[in-house]
Amino acid sequence: MDVYQEAVGYLTSQHVPAVVQTETEVMEEDVFQEEADSCPLSPLHPQSVDFPDTPTLSSPEEMLERRLMVLKCIVESEEVYLRELEALLMPMKALRASAGTSKPVLSSQQVQTVFYQVPEISDMHQSFFSGLKERLSAHCRSEPGPGEDGQMSYTGFELLVGDLFLKMVNQLGLYGGFIGNYEEAVQVVRKCTQSDPRFRTLAQSMMSNIGSDKTRTKYTFEALLYKPLDRVTKTTLVLLDLLKTTPETHQDFALLQEALRLSRSFLSGVNESSQSKRGVTLSHGMRRKLMRDGFVVDASEGERHMRHLFLYTDLLLCTRFKHATRGKQDQYRFGWFLPLAGLKLRWVADQHRPPDAQLRLHTIRTKMHLLRQQLRQHAQGSKGLPFAARSRKKLEQVELMLLTHSPAYTLELHSPSGRSHTLLLSSLYELEEWRQAIHKLTADNIETVPPDLLTLTSACVKLRMTQQPPLHSTNAVEDEMCLCGTLSVAVHSACGLQQPASVYVCVEVDGYEFCDKQATTHSSIHSLNPHWDQELQFQVDAAQELRLLCVSQADGKNDTVLGKTSVKLESKTLNERWRRQTLHLGQVDVTVSLKFSPHPLEPPSATAPLHPVFCVPIEIVTQQEGVMVPHVVRCCAEEVERRGLAEVGIYRISGSSSDINTLKSVFNSNLRDAVTRLRRADVNVVSGVLKLYIRELPEPLIPADKFQSLARSLEIQDVDSRLVSLFSVLHSCPTPNRNTFLFLLHHLQRVSERQDTNKMTLMNLATIFGPSLLRLPVAELGHIGSSMDISVEVVLQVQVVFCYLQCNNLPEAQTSLPHDTDSEDETTHM
């Protein structure tokens, strides 16, 4: 069926007037009819350029000149459309605020219905408009003066925009939700216009600045609500106009063809999808509608397969996607389905991959990195386009393979009938979106009407909102706003928890997965205001978005996501200085700092770098962790304070040596896993780990060359003068040593405050820790060593630590590095 006729069929089915045109009239109609006056190069303008149906009738130079005209018209048209969407969205915030008052203009549900998908559509077109305008400006060095012919210094083959159109078309699924909701939204507008004078005044006098002269144009609410519906039906015509002026040898040609195919597929299904969504009505009046779809990895059969998952109002459908060959339509084959009624979900994170899986991932990442470098070399000129196209195709295949084998999050689905399926996802953020969408539907009393699986599967082509797996290699041109280099994220603290919990933060970045794109902090102690002060680093390429999730961890139970948010990454706002900001993740606020260092990425490493902490100088450990006090010290001390302050003989009674050595090995390889095990370990094992770490430091916390100075300080009779001397020596110690020592002193003082219960006085604690914190210098080669008796040495060690512990006004320890910022803290509301 012809695209225009299908669009007209849909508009008619929605009771929207549409002028039926002949095929010739449709082909001659331009997508910029409303903006013809503002765009002198519009094909509808009396003096417009008549583009031929096939590109062979003009020379490449003429085609590229006309192509530039079409692109300029598209930019102007997009700008007008964005102003119309802005005018439509302008009252949304006020209407939403009034919904919570005693006299609302619209209810919360009505506001959601009227503006459904409009903000997302606006964001999509804003991104497309900004990218297209920036690339046009970059290739046009100067604008023509009055009366002059525009001489553009550019090579038409270097102006690449196909990836922008393909990205935009891949998001046309947003219009699917808008179209399905349009009729209901219009009914709400009409009903409220008649019943509420306040809304009537608003709905009949909405203003927008239209045109280059910013003329204010008056619209009705319903007229603005029709704009997206009108716009999406013209997408195919836009692409046709652009393809007519793009030579077949141009790098954009194949991308624009794919965008045209996807656009036609979407528009051809507009009317059918509308009918399909009305095809099944459940007994309580709810219609079966597509709520969400996307690509996931299905591991139900023991092997990993990429599948297209569809979430309907009453069931979950898994299909096998078969990409169309030239001239044919995409197809879906039935995989399995599960009714949502009674469906149980459980997710877990697979933290450990077997060696063979790690090797396979490394091989795929190395191949992808090589192909990526080849494409960058070819992107510098217009030569070698056929080779570049082949490399890009290979890159897509390798990236798809990586998407299949890299997911580490498992989502288990269990139905009351005993059927179970396992899905794998690479992103915890995406998994949580799926979980929330399914949970929202299963929370209701759902009735499942047995589906016609053949019809339902066949309709997936028309209903789908996601056209293809999320491959970054589909972008033909590197966006200058994307990040390539080292992104550092320091996670400081959180607040807003409803009850004390052990919490960790998961951080994800997008872009090519040459290296791990996800990292987590260690779990905090049970607290209402958890602190981490942990720095995470990512090697990123083409990164545009940062995602954060705050997750509560409970022993023996599933982890629970407390909140999530996403942040756009822009090279203009990030540099090598820390930028601190507070992010709102629902009810939880998380404070983070970001910095970015641009540089080309090295090839992927075969093994992840290990950063052992035991038997390593403390300055190295604190530097690689980005802190002032090693995490092993903080985590063990916090765990002892959480559940060991009432333990009789804490730090005096030893734990199992095998358990202590096991935890030592885990701390040397995986901090988060170590902290998780720490939560379950015997408290005497936890205290043993802390004592072992301090004892095995190559250099004690108080450097050996300070021993004699401290011994002389003890000889001072005046208590105040003695403390001044002791702290003067401490102040001369390296910063990590000093802060870790002070942190331990505060911790041991808190332990001693419970001495009536745990029987551990300050002297007892000084006796245990003194020999590890302070040591006599080792005799240098060729010199006579100290003749100090070992018993005298121990007495001095204990006395020094005891004097420090007796101080009532110890300086506070700085646990994290100072994150200098260029500006004041920012607060981001999500």
> In this predicted model, what pLDDT tens digit does every residue of 779-824 receive, in sequence order?
543 444 455 566 777 889 999 999 999 999 999 998 877 765 554 4
Q: How far apart are CA 297 and CA 301, in angstroms?
A: 11
Task: State residue 352's pLDDT score.
Answer: 67
Task: State residue 386's pLDDT score.
Answer: 63
Task: Give backbone dihedrals phi and psi of 431, rounded to 5 degrees, phi first.
Answer: -60, -40
Beta strands, E only, 569-709: 579-585, 588-598
Q: pTM of the entire structure?
A: 0.63
Q: How far apart are CA 190 and CA 790, in angstroms?
A: 93
Task: Give backbone dihedrals phi and psi of 420, rounded to 5 degrees, phi first.
Answer: -135, 150
Q: How far apart are CA 777 and CA 703, in angstroms?
A: 9
Confidence of residue 1 (pLDDT cuts 50, 70, 90): very low
Task: Give backbone dihedrals phi and psi of 726, rounded to 5 degrees, phi first.
Answer: -60, -45
Nearest to 534 by CA among 469, 675, 631: 631
CA 14 to chain centroid, in Å, comes to 37
Residue 313 structure tokens: 């109002």
Task: State residue 794's pLDDT score.
Answer: 83
Burial of 150 (0-12, 13-18, 19+ CB in 10 A): exposed
- Summarised one tens digit per residue, pLDDT across range 704-743 is 999 999 999 999 999 889 999 999 999 999 999 999 999 9
Cβ-contact 522, 532 below 8 angstroms:
yes
Task: State residue 475's pLDDT score.
Answer: 58
Residue 737 structure tokens: 């040593």
Confidence of residue 267 (pLDDT cuts 50, 70, 90): confident
- Summarised one tens digit per residue, pLDDT across range 417-442 is 888 999 999 999 999 999 999 998 88
Query: Which of the given ranges, 130-134, 258-262, 462-466, 684-688, has the highest pLDDT on average?
Result: 684-688
Which DSSP helix (H) or strand (E) runs through 359?
A: helix 355-378
Confidence of residue 589 (pLDDT cuts 50, 70, 90): very high
Sequence letter at residue 108: S
- Summarised one tens digit per residue, pLDDT across range 85-131 is 988 888 888 888 888 788 888 888 888 889 999 999 999 999 999 99
Task: State residue 280's pLDDT score.
Answer: 42
Mean pLDDT, all residues of the chain? 80
Q: How far apart are CA 262 and CA 266, in angstroms?
A: 6
Task: State residue 721's pLDDT score.
Answer: 93
**pLDDT at residue 633 greater than cutoff 90:** yes
The DSSP code sequence of 714-769 is HT--SHHHHHHHHHHHHHTS-HHHHHHHHHHHHHHHHHHTTHHHH---HHHHHHHH
Beta-ladder partners of 491: 534, 592
C-alpha pair distances (Å), 448 with each of 170, 468, 586 = 31, 28, 32
**pLDDT at residue 52 greater than cutoff 60:** no
Lowest mean pLDDT segment, chosen from 140-149, 590-599, 618-627: 140-149
Percent of the residues in the chain that have a pLDDT greater than 90, as a whole number: 35
Task: State residue 448's pLDDT score.
Answer: 62
Which residue has better confidence, 1 or 482? 482
Which DSSP helix (H) or strand (E) runs through 665?
A: helix 657-667
Q: How far apart are CA 779 and CA 435, in angstroms?
A: 64
Residue 96 structure tokens: 């939403």
Query: Which of the given ranges, 368-377, 384-393, 717-726, has the highest pLDDT on average?
Result: 717-726
Lowest mean pLDDT segment, chosen from 226-235, 502-511, 522-531, 716-725: 226-235
Residue 816 DSSP one-character state: B
Q: How far apart are CA 483 and CA 488, in angstroms?
A: 12
Task: State residue 425's pLDDT score.
Answer: 93
Task: Map 215-256 to HEC letters.
Answer: EEEEECHHHHHHHHHHHHCCHHHHHHHHHHCCCCCCCHHHHH
**pLDDT at residue 33 greater than cutoff 90:** no
Task: State residue 686's pLDDT score.
Answer: 96
Interval 595-606 mean pLDDT: 85
- What is the four-CA torsion angle of 226, 227, 233, 239, rounded to 10 degrees? 180
Sequence letter at residue 384: G
Q: How far apart are CA 185 and CA 244, in angstroms?
A: 37
Sequence letter at residue 206: M
Confidence of residue 391 (pLDDT cuts 50, 70, 90): confident
Query: Which of the given ranges, 364-378, 385-399, 562-576, has the highest pLDDT on average?
Result: 562-576
Q: What is the CA radius of gyration of the chain?
A: 33
Q: How far apart are CA 185 and CA 228, in angstroms?
A: 13
Nearest to 740 by CA among 699, 685, 768: 699
Task: State residue 152's pLDDT score.
Answer: 40
Task: State residue 758's pLDDT score.
Answer: 95
Which residue has better confidence, 237 or 702? 702
Task: State residue 476's pLDDT score.
Answer: 47
Interval 525-538 mean pLDDT: 88
Residue 330 structure tokens: 């995409």
Which bin fits 485, alpha (ψ -120 to 50), beta or left (φ > 0)? left
Task: State residue 21's pLDDT score.
Answer: 42
In the block, residue with structure tokens 């590095």: 817
Which residue has better confidence, 608 or 349? 349
Task: State residue 461's pLDDT score.
Answer: 83
Task: State residue 15's pLDDT score.
Answer: 52
- Summarised one tens digit per residue, pLDDT across range 134-167 is 888 887 754 444 444 444 444 556 788 988 998 8
- Summarised one tens digit per residue, pLDDT across range 197-206 is 888 887 776 7
Interval 7-36 mean pLDDT: 42
- Summarised one tens digit per residue, pLDDT across range 304-327 is 999 999 999 889 999 998 776 655
CA 688 to chain centroid, in Å, comes to 39
Beta-ladder partners of 410: 348, 424
> Euclidean distance between the first and final Cα of the chain, in Å?
43
Task: State residue 327's pLDDT score.
Answer: 53
**pLDDT at residue 348 greater than cutoff 90:** no
Task: State residue 442's pLDDT score.
Answer: 84
Residue 253 structure tokens: 């040609």
